[in-house]
Structure 1
Amino acid sequence: MTLTKSIVFAVVTVLATMALATTITNSTSSSGRTFTALFTDATSLNKGDDVRMAGVKIGTVEKVGLRENDTAEVTFTAAESAPMVEGTRAELRFRNLIGQRYIALEPGATGAAALEDGYTFTLDETRPALDLTMLFNGFQPLFKFLDPDDVNNLSAQIIAVFQGEGTTVESLLSSTASLTSTIADRDQVIGELITNLNSVLDVVSQRTGQLDTTLVTLQRLVSGLAEDRKTIGSTIEGVGNLTESVAGLLSEGRAPLRKSIDSLGDVSENLAENDKVIDRFLTTMPQKTDELGRLATYGGWLNFYICSIDGRIPRPEGYYGDLGVESPAGRCR
């Protein structure tokens, strides 16, 4: 009786261990139907990568090759239970932060005819992963306007204003003269404005009753203000004190502000000297944020897959090292 119980316990333990190992390695049986998909770009897709449908792994990539017309040919398997029907689309998506990818299958309409074993998905039925080069090429016109020299010139002009240089005042006077000349050139428009103003005055004269009411109301407002002149006077005195305090604040902050503006030129120069680093950062940022978003969709954490662990255990006479384990999963090879 004891031997029978021991055998049953051992069998159950082995089966549970096998199920746990299968769950941890996310492995599936290699049996199933075989299909081929053509992609214009299959970069970072390797043998052993996942084939998923609705987020569930249903197969594995078996082979990645190249056709004569510079088209990537990917052979993969799919479980018998997977609904591989007409209208199914194969897309390449990012799996993690290190650039690994997988094939995502979008099933066709319900009730469509099933695909035969060995079916080939054409380029019209597939879609490659996001092309970051094409994305950032669209921003090239914007990047061309970010000229470091223009930023330096703007910094110099701001500094000149705070330093009170005469050339800045002359520029202001020139602009004022230009405005005056422009007004003189618009004498016809000004004449039309006066004509329209006469029309408005005619309408106002026709509304004398309403205007009288407005004036009476205004007189009441002025009388109320006169009665509150002491409160208003104390308020104006407080505004004067506030103005004096603000003036002192501006006087004290003028030197640090001038120093900050002087440093703006150095900052823009550093940015200009490290344009390659900035370009690389901007190029990789969308991919990183996209992958971080995918990893965080399960909750407020990030999922990581550990391929190997090693370490050493301290002992009184020394270290007992070379301890560890390595995962046999295909993604760690």
Structure 2
Amino acid sequence: MHTALAGLTVLVLGIVVALNARSLPVIGDGTGYAAEFSEAAGLRAGDDVRIAGVKVGRVAGIALDGASVRVSFRVSGAWLGADSTASIRLKTVLGQKYLALDPVGSEQLDPDVPIPRARTTALYDVLPAFQRLSTTIDRLDTARLSRSFQAITQAFAHTPASVRTALDGLSRLSDSVASRDAQLTHLLAGTRAASATLAGRDAEVHRLLLDGNRLLTEVQRRESAISALLEGSRRLATELSGLVSDNDRSLAPVLAQLSTLLQRDQDSLAEGIRGLAPLIRLATNLTGNGHWVDGYLCGLLPPAIGPVNEPGCFPR
């Protein structure tokens, strides 16, 4: 019996812990705080809580507390001072918000005491206002409004000049609104369609902005690498210029001697070619009559054998 009661107690405690896991101090979302605002300004439960742009928690809930809006939030890994301020700010161009905290004060903020309205700021959201304005303009009968102002003008025809001037201005304003009813309706309809399109493509636009941020970061990183490469090239050119300048005095005599040596070898080669020309001519005459060598060898036999060529060896 005792074992069953102990097991049932452990089971109930496990369920309670599982349902309130985020409220636990170690494995939960951190310490819970609250702030009072004049309006919610489009903030929702689950939105980010940030300090100096760094996410430190999330919005836990939003509830009406008398004439104020009570925003409950949890913060983990950050310190909040007793004079901390809170503000609702715009996170994306599509209207997503986040709760920004400024940890001010020397003493720690009491989780049981909400941040008062005097130290909170709510961002006014213009998108719902434009949407409500579009709906109001669609329902407005501008022609009847114009006739109403004209009737008021006629009724106050015998009133003082200041009153008649004011009513005449209101009448002209009504006529102007009525004459531009179609253009105004078209403009507000386009605004409503654009707002709906942006709201429907929130994820795509958010991804586009993130990709653009990564692209700019990569360009900035590559710019640093290119700048370093150009700076290294400039230093190399400076070092090479110094090397050439240092060795110019030593290399000039060597280059002069090399030029003289090459000129002397060129002259010797030309003289050798001129001396080899007669031998080439005679060899061409000997071998130019067919598949044999046709030549005359003078003085081949010694004089003791007999005068083979009595006139002697003379060139032909």
Taking structure 2 as the reference length, the TM-score comes to: 0.35
Taking structure 1 as the reference length, the TM-score comes to: 0.33
Structure with larger RCO (C-alpha < 8 A, sep 6+):
1
Q: Which has the higher strand share?
A: 1
Greater radius of gyration (CA) = 2
